[in-house]
Structure 1
């Protein structure tokens, strides 16, 4: 697998609601089952999710449209970051989340793709449910 993950996930929700969950510490923690979360909701702000297993910085925030993060897993070598981009597009009563994750270490793709589904997309659908 290459060092790129591209997914398009449909949610029965508004872009605003999804954006809020992904950029608000309290809501993200609730969505992720109560895991400690700290999200600074501003460009350049740091974030830490799942009790510090995922950390990084907010690179770009366009409310209800786009989130771009410098993103890293806690077991990666120091200073190694990837880019995670979340694009939100409303389609009628649904929102399509177009997700691209690039630049992660070799051999991590399958594990990360599974992790996005198990730790983000499935809990987010349930939380918005």
Structure 2
């Protein structure tokens, strides 16, 4: 909750918008490997919408939560790791946990290994 003593915990210490930044990373990674027009439109749209979405979400929450949101923004960042680098927050790996990290690595590995079977395109050049 925004009114707690430590409102940003876990991945929210890294960025206020972890899902949106996940879409940005996914979109950019695919844009770098796919230069055809259809891919640029598809992955570019996801990337642009995710980047714009972070700003739109911040604006909406500023309107609805006022000073509580302003205090939260002061301790967090939209851009991943910015608040940590600037000393406005700190990275606490224990809040994210080893199991979440391992789960993310396993899911990434499974999607990478099964990419051709799932999507019909090999991720390798």
TM-score by length of 2: 0.24
Structure whose alpha-carbon radius of gyration is higher:
2
Name the structure with the higher strand share: 1
- Report the TM-score when normalising by structure 1: 0.24
